[in-house]
Amino acid sequence: MVEITRAAQMVPITMLGLMAGFFYAFSVCVMAGLDAIAPERAISAMQAINAAVRNPVFFVTFFLTPVIAGGTAALAFASGETRIGSFMAAAAVVYVLAAALPTALVNVPLNEALAAVDPERVDAAAIWSDYSARWTFWNTARTLTTTLALALAVFPLFESR
């Protein structure tokens, strides 16, 4: 059972890595690229990105990451691997509280408000400036906390045997 637990660790580790990388890409280049173009175009592009991200592959990765991490923690506890279980449970909690919750409470509402904007009929520069600053701040927080969750999930792999 111990070897199954160790192999099972790879699934949430991979999923946390995918999510950390997804958030990281937006914080270090996507938003900067959008900030470099005309605000009307940035709004339209972000509206398209936000529509495209609503897909089954993203939803599975985003929503099942903490579930699978929690399941891996339960498996680890059941097999007597309390150290792995504790770190994996901590990773799941950090992801839910510091990445998924801000997504639901901040980033998604910002995205929904932006979706209602017609960039040709508003002060696009003001709307984009406010949106980009707030969205990027919270996305960077998600990047850092998801990376922390990833580190927590990976840490037990380095224990001495």
Q: Which amino acid is at 128?
A: W
Q: Taking Cα atoms as reference points, which of 15, 6, 142, 9 lies closest to residue 66?
A: 15
Q: What is the mean pLDDT of residues 44-61?
A: 99
| 161, pLDDT greater than 60 | no
Residue linked to tokens 């840490």: 155
Handedness of CA 127, 130, 134, 136 (dihedral sign): positive
- CA-CA distance, 60 to 83, in Å (whole number)? 27
Report pLDDT for 21: 99
Asked whether the predicted pLDDT for residue 1 surpasses 80, the reply is: no
64-82 confidence digits (pLDDT tens): 999 999 999 999 999 999 9
